[in-house]
Structure 1
Amino acid sequence: MARAAGRLVFPKEDTLINALQLERGMDTSTSKKLSKSFVEKTITKLENLNEAELFHSNRAEKWKSYSMIILLVGVFLFAISWNTSAQSVFRWTHPRTSFSIPKPFAIQNQSGNINLLGGETTELAFTVMGDAPDSLIIDLQAYAAPDSNQPIIIAKKDSVGIYKYTIEDIYQDYRYRAYYKAVHFWEVWEEISSPFYAISVTDRPVMEDLTITITPPSYTHLKPIIQKGNQADISGLIGSNVHVALRSNRPLKNGALIINNEELSMNINGKKAAGDFTIKEDGQLAIQLQDIRGITNRNPIPFYITAIHDLQPDITVYQPEQVIELGSDQTIPIHLQIVDDFGFSNLQVAYEIHRPAYIAMDLLLSLFSIPIDDPMNVNQELIHIWQLVELGLMPEDEVHYHFELSDNDLINGPKKTITNEFIARLPGLAEIFTAFENEEEVILEEITYSQEELEAIRENLEQLGLDILKQDELTWDQQQDLQKMLEGVREEFRKMKEIAQSLEALQ
C-alpha cells in the first residue's frame, strides 16, 4: 500500500517507505535535522493524497452487493425452515446444554386417556409425524400385575395412515404407548416412543359367591339339592322351588331373576341378593344386577333349566287272565305289580255288569278300591281276592272291568294308568248242566278205574299170601312188592275220597 501511495504522490514509489524508515531510526541518525525535514515534507505531500485513487471503489461495491445477497438468501432459508432452524439456533446459543438425538419421526397418540366400564372394548389409535414406518409396537401394561412375558402387539398402518389396535373385554387398568425400535446399527437412536397414557376401568358388579338350592315338591319326600354357581344346569321336578342366593363385589341397588324373558325381583341386602322361582318348564335363567351407582353386570351367564316330569305309574297284571269263567264261589284272585317314581295315591277297579241280551238294562259303572298298605313303596306287588257274590250275578252275566292306578303328583294332579279290559263270566244254566254231566261222566270213569285197580291189588295180595305160607320169612323182593301194594291201596283210598267230594259238589 506504501508503494502504491508513493507512485501517486512522489516521483519515486519508495519515497514513503524511506521516510518511514528515517522516522523509526531518528534517535540513531547522525543528521537529525535533515531527517526530520525530509519526514515533514513527506507528510505534507501525503495530505494531498486522494484516497479514492488509492482504493478502487468498484471492487468494494461488488463486495457489498455480494454480502447483501448472501444475507437475504440466508434470511429466506431461515424463514422457510423455521422449526429446524430455530432449534439449531437454540442449540448454538446453548453450547453447554445436552440435547436428545434428532429422530426421523414422532409418534402421536390419538386416543389419549380412556375411561370405560369393565368388559367393554376400546380402540387405540396413533399417528406418525415424519417418515412413517409400516407398523408400530403397542406396549400394554397392566397396573395390577405387569406381565413381562406379554406377547408383542403389532399395529399396522391403515389406508389413511392411522395405526389402530382393538382391545376386547377389558376388566383391569392399563397404561399403554406405541414405539418403534431402530432397525439398522448405524441409527444413533434406539427407539421412538409416544408418551404413556392410561386406560381406567370402572368395575361392574359381579357375583363373588352364588348358591342355588333346589327343593323338590313335598309329595316326593326328597331332600333339597344344593349346588354352587359353577354348575350351569338347574335340573328339578316340575313344581320344585329354586332359591338363588348371591354375594356381589359391590353394594347393590336392584337385582332380578330373568327366566324365559320373565323378570322376577330379588331381595337386596347390601352386597347380598336372594330370589325364588318355581320350575315349570325348560328354559334359561339369567341374573341381572345393578349397583348403587346404576351400573349393571355385563353379559350375565345363562343357567339352563331342565324341567323333569313326574313319570306315569305302571301296572302289570299277573292274575287274573284276560277272560275267565267264575266258579261257584264267584271270586277273582288278583295279583298285581305296581311301579312309580315317587308313590301312589289310589288303586281302583272299575267294572260294569253286562246282562244277557234278553234282559234290557242300562250299564252302570261302579268302582271299588284295592288298599295299598305302603303308598310310598315305589315298586310292590299286591294280592287281593275280589268277592263277587254280593253283586247278585245271574247265569250268563258278565263282569267287564279294568284297573286304574293313580300316582301322588300334587303339582299337576295325580296321573292315572288304566289297564286293558278284563271279563269274568258266569256260565248259563245249559252250560252248568252240560258241565255237570261231563263232571259226572268223569267221576264214573274214575270210579270204574279205581274198582279195576282195587281188584288187581286184591289178586296180588292173595298171590302174595300164598307165597308167604310156603316160606318161613319174606324175601327182599317180596317185601318190596308188599310195600308197593300198600302204597297203591293208599292212593286208591285218596282217589275215592276225592270222588266223594266231587259227588257232594254235584249235589
Structure 2
Amino acid sequence: MNTTVRYDEILKKLARFENKRLLAELAWGGQIVAITSMLLFTFFAFLEYLFFFSPGVRSVFYYTWLGITGGSIVHFVLTPLYRRYFIVAANPVRSALEAGSYFPQVKDDLMNVMQLVKVSDRRGFSEKLVVAAFDDIYDRIKELEFGSAVSFKKAKKLLIFTLISFILSGGSFTFSSGMKDAGLRIIDHNKQFVPPQKYSFEIKPGDIEVAKGDSVMISVIVSGPAAKSLELYHKDDSQPAFIKEVIKAGKDGSFSFIIPSVKYSTEYYAAIEDSKSITYKLTVTDKPLIRAFKLQITPPSYTGERPTEQTDNGNVSGIKGTVISLSLESNKELSEASIEFMEGINIPLTVDGTSATGLFRIMGDNEYVIKITDTKGYTNISPVKYTIRASYDASPEIVVLSPDSNTALPRSQRQDISLMISDDFGFSGLNLNYKISKSKDTKTVQEKFTAIPVPFNKSVKETQTSYNWSLAQLFLSPGDEVTYYLEVFDNDQVSGPKSAKSREYIVRVPTLDELFATGEQKQDEIQKELTEVLKEADELQKDLEKVSKELKSDKKELTFEEKEKLEKMLDKFEKLQEKAEQLSQKMEDAQENMKENNLLSPQTMEKYQELQKMLQDISTDEMKKLMEKMAKNLESLNRKDAQQNLENMKMDEEAFKKSIERTLNLLKRVQIEQKIDELVKRVEQLNDQLEKLQKETQNADPKGMEELAKKQDEVKDQMKDLEKEMQDLRDKMKDMKDMPNEQAEKLQNELEKQKNEELSEEAKKNMKKGQKQQAMQNQQQMSKNMKEMKEGLEELQNSINQSNQMQTMADMMKIISDIVDLSKQQENLKKKTQNSSPSALLSQEMREQDKIQRNLEKMLSRLGDLAQKTFAVSPEMAKSLGDARREMNKSLENMQNRNNKQAAGNQGQAMASLNQAAGMMQDAMAQMMQQGNGGQRGMMSMMQQMGQMAGQQMSLNQQVQEMMKGNNGKMSQEQMGQMQRLQQQQEVIKKSLDQLNKETKAAGKSKSIPANLDKLSQEMQEIITDMRTGKYNDDLVKKQDKILSKLLDATKSINERDFEKERESFTGTNIKKNSPGAFNTDGGKKERNYSDNINKALQGGFTKDYEDLTRKYYNLIK
C-alpha cells in the first residue's frame, strides 16, 4: 500500500473523530442553551405573574431573554460547528494533534509525520526516513479508532438537569393559567393588558347548541383564592334581564347548576366579587317529535276477522300472530327511526323525509316505545311507552253428549255419537280414534288407535254434530270391546293447531246373556219402583182419609195447620205423578233397547208399548189442572172449597193408585212372555251354535279338536243357563193361577229329561279322544232337543195368549150383559120418575136407584179385576161407568130434594153412559177378534169378521129405528140426508160380507158357516134398494132385524166350533179349570143356561130396541 492511500485512510479516521467530538459538544451545548432559555423565561414570567409589569419592563425581559438565548446558541452551538467545518477541515494536522493527545503511544508523532508528508519541499529530509516514519506511525494507529476517545458523559450528566428544567417550566405554563398568561404577555410585550382579576373561571359546557326541552348542567371551576359561593347569571330570549343564582361550592371546590327544560336560547356567565367570566350562550334547537301516527291491525287470516285501524293510540291488543303496520309523521326530517321493545328487540323503521313506516307481529304481551332521530342527531324527548296485550287462540272444547257412558253395540252394529264442539275461531279437523281393546281372539287386539275423519262444518265456531259410526267392517264377535275417543283440532295457523280430546269410551258387543240380563235388570228396577209408588199411594190414601175427617168442622176457614197438611198432600201427589212420568220414560228406554236388539216377539213388544202408554196416560192434563186449581184455592183458606177439592183429589188419587196397580200386574204378565221370548232366543242360538260346531267337528284335524272341545264346554255352560232361566219362568208363572202352569211344568220336565249338559260333556270327551262321529251324534241329539224345546216354548206362548184372550172375552161378555141389564133398569126408573109429580117424595124410586148404583159398583169392581189381566179394558170404559155412577148419585140427591125432573135427566145421562160403555167393550172385543191368531184366515178369523159385521148391523139398525120414531112416514131434508148416509153404511156391510163369502169359498170352508152368505147378501141388497127409494117403514126394520139375527147365529156357531177345536190343539192347557163357573162350556148345559138368561131378560116387557140389544149380547156370550 502506498503512502497516499494510507494518508487518506488516516484523514478519514480523523474526520470520524472530529464528527463525534462535535456531536458531544453539541449535546452538551444544546442542553446549556435550553436550560438557560427555559429558566430565564420562566423567571421573567414569574416576575410578570407576580407584578404585572408595564410594556417597557416586559420589553426588557423579552429582549434580555432573547439576547441571552441567542448568545448561548452562538457560543454553545454555532462556534463548535464553525470550528469543525471551517478550521479543522482546513488543517487536519491540528486534528491529528488533538487525536494523538488521547493516545500516549501516538502523542504528537502523528502530527509531525503528517506535517513531513505534506511538505512539498523535502530538501534536507530523507525521503526514506519520512516514509519509514510514516509507516511506523501508521502501523501504530491502524488498529486505533480515534472516536473512541470522545466521551458523552458530560452531556449525559447534564440531561437530568435539563429534564428537571423542562418539567418545571412546562408545568408552570401548563397547569397555571396565570403563568401562561404572563408568558404570553412577555412575548406580546408591546401590548397593553388589563390587570388580571382576582378570580379566573373555567366554565363548561361553554357555547353549545341544545335541544329544546333539555336540561343543561353548568359546571364552574374557579382559580384564585378559595371561594365559598359563586353567582351565576342567566337570561333566555323571553326574559328582559339576567336572573342571578347563588351557588355554593361542592366538596371538591367546584360549582354546578342545572338550567331545567331549556325552551329558548339562553346567555349565562359566572361572577365572584369583582371577578367575572366571559358570557356564553346556549342556542336552543327543536327536538324531533311525532306529530301523528296510525296503526293498522291485521289479525291472522284464519280468524276471519277484518283489519282495523286506530290513530294516535299506540296501545294495541290482538290475537297472537296479528300484524301491526305503523306509519308516523314527524316535525323534522329524520335520519333514523325504530321501535324498541322492552325485551331488548329493536325493529328499524323505513325513513322517508319526515315520515317513517314499519311493522311488527304480536307474539305476546309486551311494551314498546317509538324513537326517532333527526339529521342533527337529536332524538325525541321521553317517548311514550305503549302496551301490547296479546290474546291467545284458546284450545278447542269437546263435549260428548251421547253416549254419556260405555255402551253395548246395537244389533245394527252402528254407534250413534252426538257431540258439541266449540272454538274461538274455527276448526281444522275432527277424528274418531278407536282400537279393539278386548277380544277372545287375542290376535285382533290392537295397541294403537286408528283415526277416522268425522265430517262436519268446519267454518262455524260452535256446532252440535252427530256421527253414525259403523263398526261392521271390524267383524266383531260377542264379548269384543272397542275403545274410542274423539279429538277435535282448531285452525290455529300461527302456533299450530291445538286439539282437545274427549274421555275414552268403550262400546262392547254384548252376548245374548248380557242383553237379556240388562233387559231383565231394567224391568226389575221398573217393577221395584212401581211397587214403591204403589206403597206410597197407599200411604197417601190413608193420609187423605185422615185429613178428610179432620176437615169436617163447622169453622168457615181453614187453620194454618190444616192448610199446611193439604199442601203436603198435594206435594206428595205431584211427586208421585212425576215418578210415574219418569217410570214411563224408563220403560220407553227399555222397550227401545229390546226392540233395537230384536229380543222380543212383535206381540210382546206391542204389550210393552201398551204398558208404556198406560204409564204415560196416568198423569192427565185434567189432573194437573186440578192440582193447580187446588193449590190456588188453598190461598183463600175457604173450608168448603178445600173439602170439595180434597174429595176430587181423593178420586184422582184412587184412579192413580189403580192405574199403578194395574200397570204393575200387567207388567208381571208381560215379563212372563218376555221370559218365553228370551228362552226361544236362547234355544235358537244354541241350535245355531250346535249346527256350526257340528260342521267344524266334521272338518277338524286332531289339533283343532282341542279348540272345539273348549267351544263345546261353552255350549254346556249355556245349557246350564237355559235350565236356570226355565226355572225362573216357572217361578214367575206360579204366582198367576190363570196361567198354563201344568204345560210349563211339563216343558221343564222335558228339558231336564233331555240331559243336554251330560250330552255336551260326553261330546267334549269324545272330541278330546278324537272320536268325531260319536261327538257329532251327541251334537245332533242336542240340536234336535233345542228344536223340540223351541216348539214347546212357542206352544206355551200361544196357550198363554189364547187362554188369556178367551177368558177376557168371556168376562167382558158377562160384564156387557150386566151393563145391558142395568141400562134397562135405569130406563124403567127414568120413566117412573118422569111420570111422577115434580115435587113428590119418591121413596121407592130412590131405593131402586140406590140398588142400581150398588150393582154398578160391583160391576166396576169386576171390570177393575179384569183390567189387572188384560190391556183390552181401556180407561175410557171405566170413565163411562164412572160417569154413570156420578149421574146416579146426582139423581138420588135431586130426588131427595124433590127435584124429580132434574133427577130424570140424570137418570137418562146415566143410561147413556152405560150404553156408551157397552159400545166401547163391544169394539174392544171386535178388535181382539181381529188380532186373534195373528190375523190368519181360519175359523177364528171368520168368527171375528162375522162378529164385527153383526156389531155394525146392530148399530145401523138402532140408528134407523131412532130416525123413524115420531116422523109419521114423513122426513125433513136433513133426515133424508142422514138416511142417505145410513144407506152407505149398509152398502159397506154388504161389501164386507161379499168379501168374506169369496174368501171362504176360495179356502173351501163355506160349509163351515151355517148361514147362506149368498142369500144373506141378496137380502142386504133388497134393504139397500128400499133405502134408496125412500121406503122407511116397519118392513125395512124387520128385514134389518132378520139380517142381524142371521149374522149373530153364524158368529155363535163359528165360535163354538173354533173353541172346541182350539181346546183340543192346546197341549197342557186347562181352560175349563180357569174359567168362571158362570161360563161353563159343557155342551147342552151351557146352551140351557144361555136360553134361561135370554128368557129372563126378555120377561120385563121392555121396548123392542132393548130386547134386540139384549138378545144380541146374550148370543155373543153364547
Residue from 330, 336, 360 that aligns with 1:248:
330
Q: Give the drift of 1:254.
A: 2.3
Checking the alignment, whether the CA contact within 8 Å between 2:820 and 2:915 is kept in structure 1 is no
CA distance in 2, matches of 1:355, 1:159: 91
Equivalent residue of 2:444, what SS? coil
Q: Cα gap change, 1:482/1:331 in structure 2, threshold over 3 Å: closer, same or farther?
A: farther
Q: Distance in 2 between matches of 1:491 and 1:317?
A: 49
CA distance in 2, matches of 1:320, 1:417: 18
What displacement does 1:298 show?
A: 4.6
Report the counterpart of residue 492 of structure 2 in structure 1.
409
Instruction: Give 1:273 shift.
Output: 0.8
1:219–1:409 Cα contact (<8 Å) kept: yes
Asked if structure 2 preserves the Cα contact closer than 8 Å seen for 1:213 and 1:227, the reply is yes
- Residue 420 (structure 1) shift: 0.2
Question: What is the alpha-carbon distance in structure 1 between the residues aligned to residue 917 and residue 216 of structure 2?
Answer: 109
Q: Which deviations, in whole Å up to 9, do the C-alpha atoms of 1:75-109 show, x marking residues without a partner?
A: xxxxxxxxxxxxxxxxxxxxxxxxxxxxxxx9x99
Residues 458-477 of structure 1: matches in 2 within 5 Å? 458-472=813-827, 475-477=908-910
Partner residue in 2 for 1:221: 304
In structure 2, C-alpha distance between the alignment counterparts of 1:458 and 1:140, rounded to whole Å? 130
Secondary structure of the residue that 1:120 maps to in structure 2?
A: coil
**Structure 1 residue 309 and structure 2 residue 664: aligned?**
no
Partner of 2:985: none
* Pair 1:430 & 2:785 matched: no
3-state SS of the aligned residue for 1:341?
A: coil
Q: Identify the residue that residue 367 of structure 1 maps to in structure 2.
A: 451
Residue 167 to residue 453, structure 1, CA distance change in 2 (3 Å): farther
Structure having the higher Rg: 2
CA separation in 1, counterparts of 2:419 and 2:921?
41
1:380/1:455 CA distance change after superposition, 3 Å:
farther
**SS of equivalent to 1:360:** helix
Is the CA contact (8 Å cut-off) linking 1:454 and 1:492 kept in structure 2? no
Higher strand share: 1
Matched residue, 1:350: 433
Shift of 1:407: 0.8
TM-score (norm: length of structure 2): 0.30
- Aligned-pair RMSD on alpha carbons? 4.7
Change (3 A) 1:469 1:297: same
* Contact 2:484/2:505, CA 8 A, preserved across alignment: yes
Task: Check if 1:157 corresponds to 2:273.
Answer: no
Contact 2:229 2:249 in 1 (8 A): no
Distance change in 2, residues 1:437/1:305 (3 Å)? closer
**Take 1:266 and 1:170, find their aligned partners in 2: how far apart are those partners?**
30
Local SS of the residue matching 2:417: strand
Q: 1:354 to 1:225 in 2, by over 3 A?
A: same
Q: Distance between the aligned counterparts of 1:290 and 1:395, measured in 2?
A: 81
Q: Deviations over 1:400-459 (max 9, x none)?
A: 111111111111211110110011111124335667999668454587797577666544
Q: 1:492 to 1:195 in 2, by over 3 A?
A: farther
Q: Secondary structure at the match of 2:436?
A: strand
Q: CA deviation at 1:283?
A: 2.7
The answer to whether the Cα contact below 8 Å between 2:266 and 2:282 also exists between their aligned partners in 1 is yes
| Distance change >3 Å, CA 352–CA 172, structure 1 → 2 | farther
Moved more, 455-464 or 341-350: 455-464
- Deviation string 1:33-77 (CA, Å, 9 cap, x unpaired) is xxxxxxxxxxxxxxxxxxxxxxxxxxxxxxxxxxxxxxxxxxxxx
CA distance in 2, matches of 1:340, 1:237: 14
Tell which has more relative contact order, 1 or 2 (C-alpha 8 A, sep 6+).
Answer: 1
Structure 1 residues 168, 459: CA separation in 2 closer, same or farther (over 3 Å shift)?
farther
Tell me the residue number matched to 1:257. Answer: 339
Aligned pair count? 377
Change (3 A) 1:424 1:172: farther
Following the alignment from structure 1 to structure 2, what is the Cα–Cα distance between the partners of residues 320 and 278? 44
Please name the residue that 1:281 is paired with: 364
Contact 1:240 1:278 in 2 (8 A): yes
State percent identity of aligned pairs: 26
What residue ranges of structure 2 are gaps of 5+ in the alignment?
1-198, 522-598, 601-668, 675-799, 831-906, 935-1118
Residue 120 of structure 1 corresponds to 214
Q: Distance in 2 between matches of 1:471 and 1:264?
A: 107
Greater percentage in helix: 2
Partner of 1:200: 283
Q: Which string of whole-angstrom CA distances, capped at 9 and with x for unpartnered residues, describes residues 159-199 of structure 1?
A: 689875423444554456899xxxxxxxxxxxxx9998643
Q: Structure 1 residues 178, 394: closer, same or farther in 2, change over 3 A?
A: same
AA aligned opposite 1:476: Q
With over 3 angstroms needed to count, the CA separation of the structure-2 counterparts of 1:478 and 1:376, relative to structure 1, is: farther
The aligned residue for residue 405 of structure 2 is: 322
User: Could you say which residue in structure 2 is the equivalent of 1:99?
Assistant: none
* 1:209–1:432 CA distance, 2 compared to 1 (3 A): closer
Per the TM alignment, residue 370 of structure 1 is displaced from its structure 2 partner at its CA by: 2.5
Using a 3 Å threshold, how does the CA distance of structure 1 residues 386 and 165 change in structure 2: closer, same or farther? same
Cα distance in 2, alignment partners of residues 174 and 487 from structure 1: 121
Superposed CA deviations along residues 109-154 of structure 1, whole A, max 9, x for unmatched, are: 9666553234532135689x99x9989797765x4x7799xxx996
Q: Are 1:344 and 1:376, in contact at CA under 8 Å, matched by a contact in 2?
A: yes
SS class of match (1:430): helix
Q: CA deviation at 1:277?
A: 1.7
Q: Tell me, in whole angstroms, the C-alpha distance in 2 between the residues paired with 1:461 and 1:298.
A: 109
Give the C-alpha shift of residue 271 in structure 1: 0.9
Residue aligning to 1:166: 258
Q: Partner of 1:377 in structure 2?
A: 460
Residue of structure 2 in register with 1:36 after alignment: none
1:182-226, Cα deviation, whole Å (9 max, x unpaired): xxxxxxxxxxx9998643223332211111222100001112232
Give the whole-Å Cα distance in 1 for the aligned partners of 2:366 and 2:406.
48
Check whether the contact 1:457–1:489 (CA below 8 A) recurs between aligned residues. Answer: no
Q: Answer with 465-474 or 323-332: which moved more.
A: 465-474
- Counterpart contact for 1:322–1:421, Cα < 8 Å: no
In 1, the alpha carbon distance for the partners of 2:492 and 2:824 equals 84
**Structural mapping, 1:133-148, within 5 Å:** 141=236, 143=237
Contact 1:450 1:492 in 2 (8 A): no
Give the residue type in structure 1 aligned to 2:295. I
Specify whether residues 172 and 381 from structure 1 end up closer, same or farther in structure 2 by C-alpha distance, changes over 3 A only. farther
**CA positional deviation for 1:466:** 1.7
Q: Which residue of 2 aligns with 1:237?
A: 319
CA distance in 1, matches of 2:913, 2:209: 115
2:348 counterpart letter in structure 1 = S
C-alpha distance in structure 1 between counterparts of 2:908 and 2:211, whole Å: 116
SS class of match (2:379): coil
Deviation per residue, 1:288-343 (Å, 9 max, x gap): 32323343335543333333211000111211122111222233222222111111
SS of 1:350's equivalent in the other structure is strand
Distance 1:445 1:459 in 2: 27
Tell me, what secondary structure is at the counterpart of 1:467?
Answer: helix
Deviation, 1:234, is 2.5
Per the normalisation by structure 1, the TM-score is 0.60
